[in-house]
Amino acid sequence: MLPARASRNTEDADSAAPIEVHGDCFAAKDAFSLGLTEFSESHDHRRITGQTGCYSVVVRQSGETTLFADPVGQFPLFYDEAGQYSTRSGELGTVVDRVYLATRLACLDGAGLFENRSLYEGVRRVREGHALHIGAGVLDERPYAPLRTDPDLSDATAADMLRDALVGAVSARARSARRLVADFSGGLDSTSLAHLAVAEVSDLPVFTHHNTAFPVLDDVERADLYAGADRRFDQRHVDVPAEHLPYQDLAPVGDEPHAASIACGPARLRFAAAAALGADVHLMGEGGDAVLWAPGAYFIDLARRGDLATLWRHCLAWARLRNRSPLTVFRRAVVMAGLGRRRALLRLADTLERGRVTGDLAWEVSVVARWDAPQVQWYTPSTRQLLAAQARRVAEQESDVDAGESVVLTQLRLHGLTQQVHRVIGLAAGVSVQAPFLDTAVVRAAMAIPAHRRADPAVAKPLLKKALTGLVPDRVLARETKGDYSREAYQGIKRAAPFVRKLLADSAAADFKLIDPIPVRQTLEDAVNGLRVPWGALNQVLAVEVWLRAHEREVAST
């Protein structure tokens, strides 16, 4: 088996080839030639789209073209009304789509406001798991393999599927790599991948993140313990000095503004260390949290289905962990279920339009939600009106996706953007950065059962633990905690405060009439002083800010 890795830039791909592969694909040499024959004869695409990995495919035949977008959304394909297509929206458009940019800025990904929009006007994104047929001037988009849950599937079958998919994903990369390395944070996801990988190679260099000033001892000590128990691991601590903390190098990375680009320092150090060892493939656990956890929105689904006994049991268990009232969580779930998606979107539109300040939400409100509450006080009236109108438009569209699954699909899209950032900085170091948890077969297996069956208040990521029992040591699978890296964020923002203050004093996002910088600057000062702040929203504002400055030409034409 050899990897078929094509560049994500169509300018680098062979435009005359019948098949272009964009992403991480591990297929036998003759797989696509056989698949092309099958597709020509019967339109059966499975041999083309169903290989190990995660990738999108372009198939050309007799003047017709079909774009297969990967079901996970890691490697998007874009097109315009004329049928031109690319892996980058910026190659097809020049005028920034204010609705899309405002949605990203407000962190309203989970509201479904994107539809199939892109960062540029007139450029559309092929929906995940959909195929766009281009021929005779007609554009026809239809689903071919979207992610779907199967309520009738047993947990045991789902665990077997996940086991096979993960083993296959790691094994394919081990066989294709000249030298394989992996992250080894001490957390469940990266440590599990490393144990699967070390079964495929004679020795495995692994990298443990270590902030000498504020080490996350819970992670580091466990990583040391796990690595010391198996001589095949060659553990390397990667020290993160102050100049590589988050916010120290604010520059856009990837095709669109994303918060991961402002915290690349530790990853850059790990990838550079991997390259120094001669590694060409670096495994990381990105995406594990998205596909293996169940967001609190699944409470809404339980209430909507009338499964009140299960809902109460879960409310009771989760509330005890947080020392909260289970009855409050239960009532919140029932209210949100009764509200429904459409009315929730209309309420969001009203909140945006009126500019009602969100404030510090109670845990019950923030966790049992379809999307994060926007920081409405940060946005200009024009931005709020734009978002409100889009929310009302989307509210009238039907959706059969459960609230829990909708949040997971949103998280997948965001993890895909994070992984894009990792790929870019890995490529700069000469290393291919791979995320097996974001492989199509892995995601499909993890999401095969509904979100509420992936949740267990007593066990972290129960489906993963069931799948990897016997392959990963019990002491690794028994971990129920997760390292907290928020101290690095506070440390980094305090160190970078002079530069960030200057950035927001002459804000490009304010010039573009997206934000009111005054409340954002106050949030910055709160963060510098160690107060609790909405990190996700603040980080996204900074990501948009530096992206706008780097794309002045597109912004000027908008």
Q: Which helix (H) or strand (E) holds 271?
A: helix 265-276
DSSP tag of 260: G
For residues 3 and 128, which has the higher predicted lDDT (pLDDT)? 128
| Tens-place pLDDT, residues 441-500 | 999 999 999 988 998 888 889 999 999 999 999 999 998 888 888 889 999 999 999 999
**CA-CA distance, 53 to 172, in Å (whole number)?**
9
For a pLDDT cut of 70, what percent of the chain falls above it? Answer: 96
Q: How confident is the model at residue 12 (pLDDT cuts 50, 70, 90)?
A: very low
DSSP assignment of 479-539 equals -------HHHHHHHHHHHHHHHHHHHHT-HHHHTTSB-HHHHHHHHHHHHTT----HHHHH
Q: What percent of the chain has pLDDT over 90?
A: 79
- Give pLDDT, residue 3: 37
* Span 273-286, pLDDT tens digits: 999 999 999 999 99
The pLDDT tens digits for 89-135 are 999 998 999 999 999 999 888 888 988 999 999 999 999 999 999 99
User: What is the per-residue pLDDT for 13?
Assistant: 45
Residue 319 has pLDDT above 80, yes or no: yes
How high is the pLDDT of residue 557? 60
Greater confidence (16 vs 408) lies with 408
Question: Which pLDDT score, from 0 to 100, does residue 100 have?
Answer: 94
DSSP string, 312-360: HHHHHHHHHHHT--HHHHHHHHHHHHHHHHHHHHHHHHHHHHHT----S
Lowest-confidence pick of 291-295, 335-339, 416-420: 291-295
Confidence check: pLDDT of 301 > 50: yes
CA distance 89 to 76: 9
Provide φ and ψ at 138, rounded to 5°. Answer: -110, 135
Q: What is the pLDDT averaged over residues 412-425?
A: 94
Query: For position 126, what pLDDT does the model report?
Result: 98
56, 77 contact by CB (below 8 A): yes
Task: Inform me whether the pLDDT recorded for 356 exceeds 80.
Answer: no
**In the predicted model, is pLDDT for residue 293 greater than 90?**
no
Q: What is the mean pLDDT of the chain?
A: 92
pLDDT at 480: 80
Residue 16, pLDDT > 80, answer: no
Task: Name the amino acid, one letter, at 553.
Answer: R
Report pLDDT digits (tens) over 527-541: 999 999 999 999 999
Across the range 47-76, mean pLDDT stands at: 95
Residues counted in the chain: 558
Task: Please tell me the number of Cα atoms within 13 Å of 28 on its side-chain side.
Answer: 6
Name the one residue in this structure whose structure tokens are 């892995």. 442
In sequence order, what are the residues at sequence separation of 6 or more whose Cβ sits closer than 8 angstroms to the Cβ of residue 516?
377, 378, 379, 380, 510
Q: Are 389 and 381 in contact, with CB atoms under 8 Å apart?
A: no
Angle between helices 217-228 and 188-198 (to 10 degrees): 20
SS3 451: helix
CA distance 171 to 1: 10
CA distance 348 to 387: 9
Neighbours of 541 (CB within 10 A): 27
Evaluate if residue 502 carries a pLDDT over 70. Answer: yes
Asked if residue 556 has pLDDT above 70, the reply is no
Over range 324-332, report the average pLDDT.
94
pTM of structure: 0.93
CA distance 181 to 193: 11
List phi, psi (to 5°) of 264: -90, -10
Q: Where are the alpha helices (DSSP H) in 368-461?
A: 381-395, 403-429, 440-446
Q: Among candidates 58, 222, 188, 28, which has minimal Cα distance to 126?
A: 58
217 Rama sector, left if φ>0, alpha if ψ -120 to 50, beta otherwise: alpha
Of the candidates 71, 21, 48, 24, the one whose C-alpha atom is nearest the C-alpha of residue 168 is: 24
pLDDT of residue 9: 35
